[in-house]
Amino acid sequence: MTFDRSIKIAPSILAADFANFGAECAAVEAQGADWIHVDVMDGHFVPNITFGPATCAAIRPHIKGVMDVHLMITPVDPYIQAFADAGADVLTAHVEAGPHIHRTLQAIRGAGMKAGVALNPGTPAAAVEELMDMVDLICVMTVNPGFGGQKFIDVTSKIAALRDMIGDRPIHIEIDGGVDPNTAPLVAKAGADVLVAGSAVFKGGSVDHPDPYGENIRNIRAAAEGVWT
Ligand code: DX5
Ligand code: ZN
């Protein structure tokens, strides 16, 4: 993975056909997705259950680019090696998931992955201030995690504060929740470069009719990039 701050669209397969993940990943990549965002939920840290490392391993061969795995689980540490073995490129843990996020991030990098840290909407930027030299990505939640299709929560001042904190470090700011062509410019302007979108990418399309995926991705990207012109 090379680092740059260009806008990257990361469709969340939480909004895809769960019986057809491989084909859905290939379809959104063919339609212009930059990364594939994979939401792992445990029914404990968040009130919903999705899937675990075995499913990640099964879909990995269907993804050409970056597999971006967002863990909404606690504990994290016992499962890090399993997600490395599954082929995750980026593994993100929540700062709220336990008392030892520092150790968790060390272990993620130690297992050969890029390390991400996620913040819930109620968690301030300062919660990750001491972690700046051990993360590759900061995921700013713009919904309370657990479900797709929720209303965007505006935390643009937190995004801007994180962008300042990052300085010249090669750290991505990823936004997750309620991203669409209306909200993408707000977060891009504040300093985000990776935009996760579930409902807004998959709406109107299917594996057999993937063109809407491409149109949706282009619309989100154009809206985000529009803040620079
Ligand atoms: C929420 C997940 C998100 C979610 C985004 O807990 O982490 O990745 O799928 O879905 P939308 O884009 O529909 O808000
Ligand atoms: Zn997510």
List the residue whose alpha carbon is closest to atom 9 of ligand 1: 148
Q: How far is the CA of 70 from the centre of ligand 2 (A)?
A: 5
The residue with tokens 């977060």 is: 187
Tell whether ligand 1 has an atom less than 6 A from the beta carbon of residue 196. yes
Q: What is the pLDDT of residue 33?
A: 98
Residue 100 has a pLDDT of 97
Q: Tens digits of per-residue pLDDT, 43-80?
A: 999 999 999 999 999 999 999 999 999 999 999 999 99
- pTM for the model stands at 0.98
What's the pLDDT tens digit per position in 85-112? 999 999 999 999 999 999 999 999 999 9
CA-closest candidate to residue 214, choices 18, 20, 34: 34
pLDDT at 228 (0 to 100): 75
Task: Please give the backbone phi and psi of residue 158, each rounded to the nearest 5 degrees, phi first.
Answer: -70, -40
Please state the atom number of ligand 1 nearest to the C-alpha of residue 141: 7
pLDDT at 229: 67
Q: Which atom of ligand 1 is nearest to the CA of 180?
A: 12
CA 37 to centroid of ligand 2, rounded, Å: 6
CA distance linking residue 55 with residue 75, whole number of Å: 19
For residue 176 and ligand 1, the question of a CB distance below 6 A is answered with: yes
User: For residue 149, how far is its CA from the centre of ligand 1 (angstroms)?
Assistant: 7
Ligand 1 geometric centre to CA of 16 (Å): 11
User: Which member of 39, 68, 89, 193 is catalytic?
Assistant: 39
Q: What is the pLDDT of residue 15?
A: 98
Tell me what pLDDT residue 210 has.
98
Q: What is the dihedral of CA 142, 213, 172, 161, to 10 degrees?
A: -30
pLDDT confidence of residue 191: 98
What is the structure's pLDDT at 22?
A: 98
Q: Is residue 176 flagged as an active site residue?
A: yes
10-residue mean pLDDT series, the chain (229 residues): 96 98 98 98 98 98 98 98 98 98 98 98 98 98 98 98 98 98 98 98 98 98 91
CB-proximal residues (5 Å) to ion ligand 2: 39, 70, 176
The distance in angstroms from the start CA to the end CA of the chain is 27
